[in-house]
Amino acid sequence: MGEQTQVKFPQEVIDEYASLGVDLPALFSAGHLGNRMGVHIVEASAERIVGTMPVEGNTQPYGLLHGGASAVLAETLGSIGSMLHGGVTKIAVGVDLNCTHHRGVRSGLVTGVATPVHRGRSTATYEIVITDEQDKRVCTARLTCLLRDVSPKDADNVPGASAPGTTG
């Protein structure tokens, strides 16, 4: 658990970020929390983001998948989609996350699929459907992110990134 797999991006997106000195798969990893929880991003574009997470290690006291774990998976996937939609000049900041938990899961792997509901100039909203290994819906989530301009302060927190008008 915690090892990140290679994220799949369209080549034109990889090239756009690479021209700015940004390692796109590293930028769009699951982050420290997601890595600790075993989140793996298996597909990513602005139109569809897919990720998985093990139930083991992410349960509440009754042995069921913790609702907060589903929220982490959902926010990770929706944030990646929002960042890809916003492009290299924008940072996606989550402003609203809503999760409805439909059924409990005790073991195996859950899969989340994020698809856009709205992709505008200043906000992006994604619906994230999380299912179990039998393709039964476990959770439905919706994430809205504010898309704001990249600042030099943001670039300081992303290895290999630089804000517009600066050097990395």
16 catalytic? Reply is: no
Catalytic residue among 3, 43, 47, 75: 75
- pLDDT > 70 fraction of the chain, expressed in percent and rounded: 82
pTM of the model: 0.85
Tens of pLDDT along 48-70? 999 999 999 999 999 999 999 99
Asked which of 29-38, 116-125, 151-160 is least confident by mean pLDDT, the reply is 151-160
> Using CA of residue 147, residue 148, residue 154, residue 159, what is the dihedral sign?
positive
* Residue 2 pLDDT > 80: no
Query: What is the average per-residue pLDDT within 73-88?
Result: 93
